Amino acid sequence: MRRKSSRWIAGLAVACAAMLIAFAGSLSAAKNAAQVKPTHVDLAAEKSLGTRSAPVTLDVYSDFQCPSCRLFFLTATTPLMNDYVASGKVYLVHHDFPLPMHAHSAEAAKWANAAAEIGKFREVETALYTKQDTWGATGKIDDALDNVLTPTEMKRVRGLLDSPEVTASIQHDEDLAKAKGLSGTPSIFITHKGQTVQIPAQGATYALVKQYIDYLLTQ
């Protein structure tokens, strides 16, 4: 009888020990997960909109200080988000391609990527394009973001501007652009069923882009 109860006690002790080990393991994993920093791959996802499995992918290489990029964003990208991205038909990918000819575009790209780290890319992107004239002239990018970032967020974003992840994310996009031989912005690529077509930015109005996407979706 005593032997039987000691077996029970030993079994219980082993089970408790196993539970303790498992608990400690999960705590450690959670701690590690909290310490993982976003990579440029994560930032790329933050800079994209829609579902990756959408039938059409629209890649836009953009410079926040470029007037044509602003025009394309306001007149084509924004309605596209509402009409096609939201319904899962188009996957919209933003790529940074700050041109040396624009004095503040590299800095603006840093702000946008740093904002992506805290999940605020879309808001910052919209503010940067909307207020391009203001910060483009003064270089005071943070002033343009006052309305979309809280003081705490602003402080966090400012702290991330020169982080290795932000630098790597921009560099990754620039490398992609150079590999494609791009020299100007916006450079727009539409991919459908593995076939990619670069459309001339000067001719890419929303009406034409929409007709082309509608055509692709029927194929």
Partner 1 sequence: MDTTSTIPVTSARANWPRWLLLAGRLILGGVFIYAGYAKLREPWMLFAFSINSYQILPESIVSILARTLPWFELLLGVVIVSGVALRWTAAAASGLFILFSAAMLRAYVKNLSIDCGCFGYGEKLGPLRFTFEGALLALALGVTIGAFLMRRRKT
Query: Residue 201 Cβ, how far from partner 1 at the closest point, in Å?
Result: 6
Closer to partner 1 by Cβ: residue 77 or 113: 77
Residues 191 and 209: their CA atoms lie apart, in Å, by: 12
Q: Does 197 bind partner 1 (CB under 8 A)?
A: yes
Query: Residue 98 Cβ, how far from partner 1 at the closest point, in Å?
Result: 17
Q: Does 71 bind partner 1 (CB under 8 A)?
A: no
Q: Does 189 bind partner 1 (CB under 8 A)?
A: no
Residues 71 and 69: their CA atoms lie apart, in Å, by: 5
Angle (CA) 215-178-194 rounded to 5° is 30
Query: Residue 174 Cβ, how far from partner 1 at the closest point, in Å?
Result: 18
Contact with partner 1 (CB under 8 A) among 100, 151, 194, 203: 203
Query: Residue 51 Cβ, how far from partner 1 at the closest point, in Å?
Result: 24
Q: Does 200 bind partner 1 (CB under 8 A)?
A: yes
Q: Does 198 bind partner 1 (CB under 8 A)?
A: yes
Residue 101 in tokens:
């000819």
Query: Residue 192 Cβ, how far from partner 1 at the closest point, in Å?
Result: 11
Q: Does 196 bind partner 1 (CB under 8 A)?
A: no
Closer to partner 1 by Cβ: residue 18 or 207: 207
Q: Does 217 bind partner 1 (CB under 8 A)?
A: no
Q: Does 207 bind partner 1 (CB under 8 A)?
A: yes
Query: Between 105-117 and 164-179, two packed helices, what is the crossing angle to 10 degrees?
Result: 120
Window of 4-12, 73-81, 122-130, 211-219 that interacts with partner 1 by CB under 8 A: 211-219
Do 131 and 65 contact (CB within 8 A), yes or no?
A: no
Query: Residue 136 Cβ, how far from partner 1 at the closest point, in Å?
Result: 20
Binding site residues, partner 1, CB under 8 A: 184, 197-205, 207-208, 211-212, 215
